């Protein structure tokens, strides 16, 4: 990520890289496969001290950035998470922290706990079929006196099993509303889901006449569409950075293998047909770096049709070519590439699941078409 990082950004990235290498080597990532949470809370809190949870939060609420662009800085952490297939609620906790920081109000204490790493929150956005298309929201948040009543379901929700608070996006009439719900509120049920990605945990969260006070409101009643759009773009940018990190490791592992593995007295990398495949993969990888960086820079400045278009272009590109690259790398490894003992599958799983979260490549291509159509109509 970032062709020309500042010295401070490079130091921050290297610090994250060293920390993850020391505290969460691949052997530890594998061990956590059977852990219900999938990550170590103590290590997550230590990461919060390094700044993992504060980059999207305003300074008056205890946050701050490295370069003046917190979202771009955070993509450096997301990239390292992808590069090492690191477990941990990086994306959902940061999205919620940013939303609470912008809303202010009664959620300052919760925000402080998120910043310290002593608490985890997640965003309940996606919904089960048939309402699982990007942008569709069916869960109802109904005002009832000085309370709100929630009915509906959300899935998949990352890190819901270990979350203390749930930022829930729902529909109030024709508009969108968001409320912060303590995970142990009566009527909230969390059911684990099976996932292709063994490094992360997802769940289905059901809300059955869940009642929360009016102080749970985040933003405006029926007027949260803009906030939801910003949260979605932030999540997309971070997932793209994470995917590119996983693509980078997958490619690097395979290049090293191709030079070390001999066939008929020659390294695999010397065969012309394989050189063409490596050239294709390198172009996908460099394209992923470029479009992800461009999307992060655009979304960090403002939310506009141009930044929406760039974010969807990044998600569509890395979602499509990330899985193509990972599958090619598995094939180039031969039989060992499909074994659980090899590390390659950890990255293939991460890339594949990231491609489906917060909109598939096909859905984002459709979104780009809608942006372009609206621009042409306005012109």
Q: What is the pLDDT of residues 61-78, one digit of tens each?
A: 999 999 999 999 999 999
Task: Provide the residue count of the chain.
Answer: 379
Are the CB atoms for 225 and 308 separated by under 8 Å? no
Q: Which of 174, 178, 120, 173 is nearest to 154 (CA)?
A: 178
- Residue ranges, CATH 2.40.110.10, the chain: 122-216
List Cα–Cα distances, 170 to 127, 149, 372, in angstroms: 10, 11, 28
Q: What is the DSSP string of 215-250?
A: GGB-S-TTB-HHHHHHHHHHHHHHHHHHHHHHHHHH
Per-residue pLDDT at 131: 86
Beta partners for 152?
207
CA torsion, points 33, 35, 38, 40, in degrees to nearest 10?
A: -120
In the three-class reduction of DSSP (H, G, I as helix; E, B as strand; rest coil), residue 282 is classed as helix
| CATH number for the domain running over 7-119 | 1.10.540.10
Q: Give pLDDT, residue 238.
A: 98
Here the tokens at position 4 are 């020309």
Average pLDDT over residues 141-149: 97
Q: What count of Cα atoms within 13 Å lies in the side-chain half-sphere of residue 340?
A: 7
Single pTM value for the model: 0.96
Would you say 155 and 128 are in contact if contact means Cβ atoms under 8 Å apart? Answer: yes
Q: Is the pLDDT of residue 259 over 80?
A: yes
> How confident is the model over 2-51, as pLDDT tens digits?
778 899 999 999 999 999 999 999 999 999 999 999 999 999 999 999 99
- Answer yes or no: is pLDDT of 290 > 80: yes
Range(s) of the chain covered by CATH 1.10.540.10: 7-119
H-only helix segments in the chain: 7-23, 26-31, 41-49, 70-83, 90-103, 108-116, 225-260, 272-301, 305-333, 344-356, 361-378
Answer yes or no: is pLDDT of 1 > 80: no
Rg (the chain; Cα; Å): 21
Domain with CATH 1.20.140.10 in the chain: 225-378
Q: Judge contact between 215 and 367, C-beta under 8 A.
A: no
Choose among 66, 49, 54, 85: nearest CA to 2.
66
Cβ pair 336, 342 in contact under 8 A: yes
In terms of Cβ atoms closer than 10 Å to its own Cβ (0-12, 13-18, 19+), residue 280 is: middle
167 vs 8, 126, 164, CA distance in Å?
Answer: 32, 12, 10
Q: Which CATH architecture has domain 122-216?
A: Beta Barrel (2.40)
Residue 208 tokens read as 């059955």
- What pLDDT was estimated at residue 244? 98
Tens of pLDDT, residues 80-136: 999 999 999 999 999 999 999 999 878 999 999 999 999 999 999 999 998 899 999
Phi, psi (deg, nearest 5) at residue 153: -140, 150
Residue 269: per-residue pLDDT: 85
- Which residues face 190 on adjacent strands? 205
Confidence label for 262 from pLDDT (cuts 50, 70 and 90): confident
Question: Mean of the pLDDT values across residues 153-166?
Answer: 97
Superfamily of 225-378 according to CATH: Butyryl-CoA Dehydrogenase, subunit A, domain 3 (1.20.140.10)
Mean of the per-residue pLDDT values of the chain:
96
CA distance 323 to 327: 6
Q: What would the pLDDT profile of 316-351 be if each residue is shown by its tens digit?
A: 999 999 999 999 999 999 999 999 999 999 999 999
**How far apart are the C-alpha atoms of 216 and 105, rounded to whole Å?**
10
Q: Which range (28-32, 149-153, 277-281, 374-378) has the least confidence?
A: 374-378
Residue 81 has a pLDDT of 98
What is the spatial distance between Cα 297 and Cα 293, in angstroms, rounded to a whole number? 6
Res 199 pLDDT > 80: yes
Alpha-carbon distance 363 to 358, whole Å?
Answer: 9
Rounded to whole angstroms, the Cα distance separating 10 from 258 reads 30
pLDDT at 379 over 80: no
Q: What is the pLDDT of residue 77?
A: 98
pLDDT at 263: 82
Res 104: pLDDT: 81
Say whether pLDDT at 253 is over 90: yes
pLDDT in tens, 268-284: 888 999 999 999 999 99
Burial of 340 (0-12, 13-18, 19+ CB in 10 A): exposed
> Which position has the token pair 């852990």?
35
């Amino acid at each position: 990520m970032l062709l020309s990082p500042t010295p401070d950004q490079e130091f921050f990235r290297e610090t994250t890289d060293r920390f993850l290498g020391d505290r969460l080597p691949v052997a530890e990532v594998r061990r956590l496969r059977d852990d219900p949470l999938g990550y170590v809370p103590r290590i997550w809190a230590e990461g919060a001290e390094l700044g993992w949870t504060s980059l999207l939060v305003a300074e008056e609420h205890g946050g701050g950035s490295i370069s003046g662009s917190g979202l771009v800085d955070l993509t450096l952490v997301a990239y390292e998470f992808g590069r090492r297939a690191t477990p941990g609620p990086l994306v959902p906790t940061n999205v919620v922290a940013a939303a609470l920081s912008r809303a202010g109000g009664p959620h300052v204490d919760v925000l402080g706990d998120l910043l310290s790493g002593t608490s985890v929150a997640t965003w309940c956005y996606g919904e089960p079929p048939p309402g699982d298309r990007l942008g569709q929201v069916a869960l109802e948040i109904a005002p009832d006196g000085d309370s709100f009543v929630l009915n509906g379901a959300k899935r998949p929700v990352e890190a819901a099993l270990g979350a203390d608070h749930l930022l829930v996006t729902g529909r109030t009439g024709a508009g969108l509303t968001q409320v912060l719900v303590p995970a142990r509120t009566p009527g909230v049920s969390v059911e684990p889901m099976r996932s292709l990605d063994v490094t992360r945990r997802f769940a289905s969260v059901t809300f059955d006449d869940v009642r929360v006070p009016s102080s749970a409101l985040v933003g405006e009643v029926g007027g949260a569409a803009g906030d939801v759009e910003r949260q979605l773009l932030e999540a997309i940018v971070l997932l793209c950075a994470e995917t590119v990190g996983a693509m980078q490791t997958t490619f690097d592992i395979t290049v090293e293998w191709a030079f070390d593995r001999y066939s008929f007295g020659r390294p695999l990398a010397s065969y012309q047909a394989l050189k063409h495949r490596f050239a294709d993969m390198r172009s996908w990888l460099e394209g992923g770096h470029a479009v992800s960086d461009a999307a992060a820079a655009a979304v960090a400045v403002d939310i506009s049709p141009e930044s929406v278009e760039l974010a969807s272009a990044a998600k569509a590109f890395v979602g499509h070519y990330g899985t193509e690259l990972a599958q090619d790398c598995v094939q180039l490894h031969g039989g060992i590439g499909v074994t659980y003992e090899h590390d390659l599958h950890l990255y293939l799983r991460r890339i594949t699941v990231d491609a489906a979260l917060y909109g598939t490549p096909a859905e984002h291509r459709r979104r780009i078409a809608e942006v372009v159509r609206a621009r042409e109509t306005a012109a």
